[in-house]
Structure 1
Amino acid sequence: MTSAPPGAPGGGDVAGAATPTVDVVLPCLDEAAGLAWLLPRVPHGMRAIVVDNGSTDGSADVARAHGARVVVAPARGFGAACDAGMRAASAEVVAFCDADASLDPADLPRVVAPVAAGGADLVLGRRVPAPGAWPWHLRLANRELARRARRRTGVAVHDLGPMRAARRDALLSLRLADRRSGYPLEMLVAAADAGWRVEEVDVPYGPRLGRSKVTGTPLGAWRAVRDMSRVLAS
């Protein structure tokens, strides 16, 4: 029987035995279905930290049933949940991933590996969408924001996707302040300003389970773009 590759579900430590344990922060607001699919796929050598941001569908119970650590973030907002998860982490490397099953945690080792090996300071997962997985208006907004981010930072980034990895202490030193949808972009801008080496790695992107709490409505999408535009203007 062929063994699983390092870092794959059922495999060994991510990127090899010398790689430190990784904490995976999963911001969560009513993502019970996504967590039930996702958590069993978190690779060995990584610990899932589910940050409950006000769920009413039993997401926290699902997370605990799958052995994840649950952290409560009372203040609503994507950035608030990410920050709470990062501060609860203790591993040297912290990764971030959506909890809606649109991204497969089995792809995290490829995102984490350059950081763990010392070849990059921040790695972003560039989403490669399956047909129908990414509504055209959201893809267009992401493309425009990425273009503006390239102009602002000089970093050749093409996606502001949620799957990413960096060293925890370095992230804390950035003193990220956004607690809403601008958090991922603020991380990139602050990292670039600090002279970090930033890379992109392609990751498959599929349809999410359930409706997005951030961009699932036109108003939500507008608010996300507004938050990110404020980061670029600050």
Structure 2
Amino acid sequence: MGDWSDVCVLVPTYNEAAAIGDVLTGFREQGFEHILVIDGGSTDGTRDIAREHGVEVRRQSGSGKGQAVREAISLIDQPYVLLVDGDATYRPEDAPVMLDPLVDGEAEHVIGNRFADMEAGAMSRLNRAGNRLINAAFRSVHGRDFADILSGYRAFTTESARRFALTADGFGIETEMAVECVKHNVPTEVVPITYQRRPEGADTNLSPFRDGAVILLTLYRMAKTNNPLFYFGSIGGLSMLAGIGLGVYVAVEWFTRNVSHEVIAVLATLAIIFGVQLLIFGVLSDMIVTLHREQLHFIERIASEDDSDQNGTSDRN
């Protein structure tokens, strides 16, 4: 058991009475002193159970997991945060594996990979397929493989999280955090964890279709600033394909039936022009984003060298 005084265990909850007690007991047994339960207005006594376990309990000012995480990060004083769901699907025993890369300075953000060791029945086939789809989309759009971007078991430095521009209110928060790690070039590690079945009576708050659609839309929306060539290029490509399709239809009608469709022809031309313009805009935006990243990395390197020089001077003094 390590010394985790620099770590705050953050547990967003909403109607988790069936599991929250076991979760808090498990982290207490692992030696964690600072545990913050931030609750979204539970009606089943979740907050009362949490208080009985002697942890700090806050009722969030808004609703949704994303809003809870954003609000909690602004309240935490410890340099490290261990984010975990309150449904007992994640093991407190995996906490050292999650935190070691942070403490050792090897990473600023750690994602627990549920697929490394998943208990039978812990995830439905539908949810498993949806997770695979979303992870594949993330790899294609954002160019990194984090194995399990929807994992609710994460560890990160408080400082790095406060640099993120997080806006999601619901379950899109994990997706936003993964994208922000890529966008800000945050050193990120993926570690294997065990994903357990929910205890009897602990129902999930996740809606596969609704929340899955929100997550995919979040991925696509955030591509606007992280991969603008994909974002604008996909819209431009669809516009061009529609224009070409309409143009082919007009041409076939003209040559086979001698029927002209002037309005459709104009729409086809406009769609193709619009698509080309979006593709060009996407290329230019991608160049700007790349240049911005290079300048940001240069500034960070200079700042790091200045800090090293100042520390060396103070050591000599």
Q: Give SS of 1:13's match.
A: coil
Report if the CA contact (8 A) 2:171-2:211 is conserved: yes
Report if the CA contact (8 A) 1:122-1:199 is conserved: yes
1:31 aligns with 2:31: no
Query: Residue in 1 aligned with 2:34?
Result: 47
Q: Give SS of 1:169's match.
A: helix
Q: Give SS of 1:88's match.
A: coil
More strand by share: 1
Q: Give the whole-Å Cα distance in 2 for the aligned partners of 1:31 and 1:110.
A: 25
Report if the CA contact (8 A) 1:73-1:81 is conserved: yes
Post-superposition CA distance 1:104-161 (Å, at most 9, x none): 1221111111012110121100012101111110011011111111222222211120
User: What's the CA shift for 1:46?
Assistant: 4.6
Post-superposition CA distance 1:55-85 (Å, at most 9, x none): 0111111111111110111322110111222
1:87 aligns with 2:74: yes
- The structure with the largest alpha-carbon Rg is 2
User: What TM-score results when the alignment is normalised by the length of structure 2?
Assistant: 0.65
Tell me the amino acid that sits aligned with residue 35 of structure 1. I
Q: Any residues of structure 2 matched to 1:200-211 within 5 Å, and which?
A: 200-209=190-199, 210-211=202-203
Post-superposition CA distance 1:163-199 (Å, at most 9, x none): 0011112101112111111110000001111111211
Tell me the amino acid that sits aligned with residue 54 of structure 1. G
Post-superposition CA distance 1:17-40 (Å, at most 9, x none): xxx511111110111121111111
Tell me the amino acid that sits aligned with residue 95 of structure 2. L
Out of 111, 136, 147, the residue aligned to residue 124 of structure 1 is 111
Query: Residue in 2 aligned with 1:192?
Result: 182
Q: Any residues of structure 2 matched to 1:56-71 within 5 Å, and which?
A: 56-71=43-58
Q: Give the whole-Å Cα distance in 2 for the aligned partners of 1:31 and 1:221.
A: 19
Report if the CA contact (8 A) 1:26-1:97 is conserved: yes
Query: Residue in 2 aligned with 1:223?
Result: 210
1:142 aligns with 2:142: no
Q: Give the whole-Å Cα distance in 2 for the aligned partners of 1:120 and 1:62.
A: 34
Q: Give the whole-Å Cα distance in 1 for the aligned partners of 2:82 and 2:217.
A: 25
**Matched positions, count:** 214
Query: Residue in 1 aligned with 2:169?
Result: 179
Greater RCO (CA < 8 Å, at least 6 residues apart)? 1
Report if the CA contact (8 A) 1:21-1:45 is conserved: no
Change (3 A) 1:56 1:113: same
Out of 154, 163, 174, the residue aligned to residue 143 of structure 2 is 154
Tell me the amino acid that sits aligned with residue 75 of structure 2. A
User: What TM-score results when the alignment is normalised by the length of structure 1?
Assistant: 0.87
Report if the CA contact (8 A) 2:160-2:186 is conserved: no
User: What's the CA shift for 1:45?
Assistant: 3.8
Tell me the amino acid that sits aligned with residue 191 of structure 1. C
Report if the CA contact (8 A) 2:9-2:32 is conserved: no
Tell me the amino acid that sits aligned with residue 19 of structure 2. G
Q: Give SS of 1:131's match.
A: coil
Question: Can you give the 5+ residue segments of structure 2 that lack an aligned partner in the other structure?
Answer: 222-317
Report if the CA contact (8 A) 1:26-1:85 is conserved: no
More helix by share: 2
User: What's the CA shift for 1:50?
Assistant: 0.7
